[in-house]
Amino acid sequence: MPESTVLDLRHDPVSPTARMPGRLEILIRHLLGRLCQNEMLSTDGDMSRALQTAWAMALPQLFATLMSFPVYHQPHGAPARGYWPQAGDHYFFITYALFVMGAVAVYSWDVLFPDAIDVFVLVPLPLPARQLLSARIVAVAIFLAAALAGTNALGIVFFPLAADQPHIGYHILAHFTSVLLAGTFACTLVLSIQGILLTLISERLFQKITPVLQILGMLLLFTLLSILPLVVGALQPVLTSSARWPLWFPPFWFLGIYQRIMYGSAPPFDLLAMRGMMATFITATITCITYPIAYRRKVRLVMEGSVATAQRRGLFKVAADATIPFVIRNSIQRGIYRFIGQTLWRSRRPRAMIAIFLSIGIALALSNLITIAPSGIHFRSDGALVSIAIIAFWLTFGLRAAFASPVDLRGSWLFRSILGREKSLVLDVQKYWTIYAVLLTSAALAIAFAFTGALSIAQLLLAVILCTAVAIVTTDFYGRHASAIPFTQAMKTTQHERPLAAARYLLVFPFLMTLEVHWMQMSLAWLTFLLLAMYLLHRYLVREAENWRANDFDGNLDDSDPDEFPTSLGLRE
């Protein structure tokens, strides 16, 4: 052995040189971290809530697989599951993939393109602009691919095994391909729409229409999910008829791909499969073309800043300015009321909360208002009353979730100083906001249904009164321990409380809807007694909230934290 290879015992062991990541890899990791740790997913950098949400979105496919196992393994002599019932099972997985990836893209609408922090931190660095663009594209692709794989992997693996059909390899390939294309179509459709808008319209107009687009996007996705039982029940007559509208229904396109790969050529599905592949190719191509253009324009607009222009006062603002002083007399309450309205519309996370909850309500209401037949979609007038109650319920809880979303806590010392004056006077403003929103929404819906002949005048008044009364009691109950003005305090929940919050919606919603439907059929005497009982409950909850605020809640400033007011006015990072 050569002497040079023998080391003295005093020498440390030689370790291999660690690989140094390149600039592109560092950029991708940084941007991917920004996508995963932003205010939309986590307000305090804790990713446990986002991970729990991801697991919750993946579990329905496993539950559907377990529920379908008995129907694919009947006792000997029992008929096997037919062709169209199997197509209905496949339709669920395709629709769910469309829903999940579309929801991820719409919810992440504001972070898929660079924001001010990305621009002002990364652009001044000595990095090529092309490298920044490439890193952003790769990070977004990894983020969406991880969401697609993580939420659909359980169904891809376990459903073909549970179905136990002949040629299981074709089944796995069909499931994987159709779900992959459906998810890709959903997210690239959102990206292509966003890229086209950022390329063609001004930044100011884009920011104005963003809330509307988010609500419409979530509405379409939740509607797809809520009408799933109706579509599955009418799948065979719809697809075997001569109607043309199924050719323009995206879930049917990817169902055609599934059936075409698994069973071969079939007349209803050949054209649908071709449309699905063409639609995915078109949206992916538009995304590849418009994303770089929209990225560069977005960076330029952020660097240049928005130009301050005179805003024209719309009809809604004029009506609000004329009405609010009469509805809310106290000047402090009026200021907080306007603060809530402006923050709710401009901030990303509260806006997304409203879009999600309101879309759930509208989608569930639509499932009670329509029927699906080969001739098309038909309106049902008997579901008008319950539809108003459903939308009012989800609007109430959507506003509650939005108010609990902190926006920027650095200036919250100002609002905590206001709390030192009159706690109930200040904290009750969010209750007024919810009540007026539910009152106006339920009244508008009831009037619209009355014009179509679905409701009488008596039913119109009954729906508005009951929905508003339920909103008042619900807001009193859940807001009796409110300790901060909306958007100025982070909600502290443990990992064990979050699943219970979801279960609360699943339990409270059907119970309350059943009660409201029963109440709407009561006589006038029983209805008067019910409203009196709800008023007494309202007064009791108000008294309980006042006692808690007087005894258990200290609204004064907490100066135990050195980073809080008055040491640094809450502005220290």
Q: What is the pLDDT confidence band of residue 309, given thresholds at 50, 70 and 90?
A: very low
Residues near 315 by beta carbon (within 8 Å), at least 6 away in sequence: none
pLDDT digits (tens, 9 = 90+) for 28-39: 888 888 887 766
Using the 8-state DSSP alphabet, how is residue 288 labeled? H
Which burial class, exposed, middle or buried, applies to 423 when counting CB atoms under 10 A from its CB (0-12, 13-18, 19+)? buried
> Secondary structure of 349-386 in the HEC alphabet?
HHHHHHHHHHHHHHHHHHHHHEEEECCEEEECHHHHHH
> Which residues face 84 on adjacent strands?
none
Using the 8-state DSSP alphabet, how is residue 16 labeled? P
pLDDT digits (tens, 9 = 90+) for 222-275: 888 888 888 888 888 888 887 788 888 999 999 999 999 988 887 788 889 999
Tokens of 319: 């009506």
pLDDT of residue 356: 84
Block residue for tokens 């043309």: 244
Measured in whole angstroms, how far is the alpha carbon of residue 483 from the centre of its chain? Answer: 26
Q: How high is the mean pLDDT of the chain?
A: 79
Would you say the pTM of this structure is higher than 0.85?
no
pLDDT digits (tens, 9 = 90+) for 461-506: 888 888 888 888 888 888 777 777 777 766 655 555 556 666 667 7
pLDDT digits (tens, 9 = 90+) for 105-118: 988 888 888 887 77
Which burial class, exposed, middle or buried, applies to 418 when counting CB atoms under 10 A from its CB (0-12, 13-18, 19+)? middle
Q: What is the pLDDT confidence band of residue 201, given thresholds at 50, 70 and 90?
A: confident
DSSP 153-206: HHHHHHHHHHHT-SSHHHHHHHHHHHHHHHHHHHHHHHHHHHHHHHHHS-HHHH
> Which residues face 371 on adjacent strands?
378
pLDDT of residue 230: 86
How many angstroms separate the CA atoms of 564 and 412, rounded? Answer: 9
**Torsions phi, psi of 428, nearest 5?**
-80, -5
Rounded mean pLDDT of 428-432? 80
> Which residues face 378 on adjacent strands?
371
Q: What is the pLDDT confidence band of residue 98, given thresholds at 50, 70 and 90?
A: very high
How many angstroms separate the CA atoms of 573 and 558, rounded? Answer: 18
User: Would you say 470 and 388 are in contact if contact means Cβ atoms under 8 Å apart?
Assistant: no
Please report, for the chain, the start and end positions of each structural domain, with discontinuous segments joined by +. 23-38+45-73+82-304, 319-551
How many angstroms separate the CA atoms of 220 and 226, rounded? Answer: 10
Q: Which of 117-131, 139-153, 236-250, 516-530 has the highest mean pLDDT?
A: 139-153
pLDDT of residue 304: 74
Using the 8-state DSSP alphabet, how is residue 8 labeled? P
How many angstroms separate the CA atoms of 333 and 337, rounded? Answer: 6
